[in-house]
Amino acid sequence: MTSVTLSVHISLAALAMFVLKAWRSTAFALYGYLNFTKAGFLEHSKRFKPEDMEAKIPGKNCIITGANSGIGYATAEGLAQRGATVYLVCRNKERGEAALSKIQSTTGNQNVHLEVCDLSSVSEIKSLASRFSKKDVPVHMLKAAPDARVITVSSGGMYASPLTTDLMYSESNFKGVEQYSRNKRVQVALTEKWAEKYMNKGIGFYSMHPGWAETPGVARSLPSFNEKLKGKLRTSEEGADTVIWLALQAKDKLVPGAFYFDRAEAPKHLKFAAATGSHALIDSIISSLNSMASLSA
């Protein structure tokens, strides 16, 4: 192959990748605008069954991360209203204490507790796990216990990215939104794998995405997006609706490893986005994650 021919092949490959990325972004934006906004929630909610949310879960222990604001807070409040014992995992002690006090006051449920942990720190996560194991209580939502479930809050943003083993974003021109999208794709693929691995352990694994909600995190991280769609975004409660729904449903009504949106199983890939086959990389990614966290397989 001549250098000219090689150059043409490289140029065509680069062009194909550019077109594919442009398609993913465009398809995601259109699909998202039609489905992920408040209007999408109101349309989808026409099929919701009110009785699905009427269950009470006293005696169930639930760990909620990022629980001091936004969707995490709305989830914690919703589960506390239904009688669960809720553990708020928050990075900031003061904001966590304020959230705890407010949830106890609004729900009348005093079985709400705070665990301070920075989830960006592996050592703090291990410390939290150690502290919690000493409580000697079963965890029904997030960790292992009989008839437990793990609900991962992902993002529709993952539709714009296939799975990649480049977990640390080695490209020189770092793009935060793209890395976020990649990480959310990893969450969905991990959920699939965990559901398969632990299917006989009594633990249900599910992922979901909340749509586009107006939360402090979105306002801080995506200010222009937040401003452009002001008035069209979902509330935190609407974003948390499917998390709470997944927590309340009988397991035989749910699909292990599935991805949910607005109380229904949702596709994990957009058509023609060439992302489906990428999930075969998950074993390699798990190996890398275990190494980073100094965990055994």
| Among 198, 204, 226, CA closest to 213 | 226
User: Beta strands 203-208 and 259-261: pairing type?
Assistant: parallel
Determine how many CB atoms are found less than 10 A away from the CB of residue 118. 13
Catalytic residue among 159, 180, 206, 260: 180
Question: Can you tell me the distance from the alpha carbon of 176 to that of 178, in angstroms, rounded to the nearest whole number?
Answer: 5
* Nearest by Cα to 210 from 20, 22, 31, 38: 38
The CA-atom distances, in angstroms, between 255 and each of 52, 205, 233, 245, 260 are: 16, 9, 28, 14, 9
* Of 244, 251, 263, the residue nearest 204 (C-alpha): 251
Distance between CA atoms of residues 55 and 81, nearest Å: 10
Q: What residues contact 189, with CB distance under 8 A and at least 6 apart? A: 163, 279, 281, 282, 285
Helix (H, G, I), strand (E, B) or coil at 205: strand
Are the beta carbons of 189 and 163 closer than 8 angstroms? yes
159 noted as active-site residue: no
Catalytic residues: 180
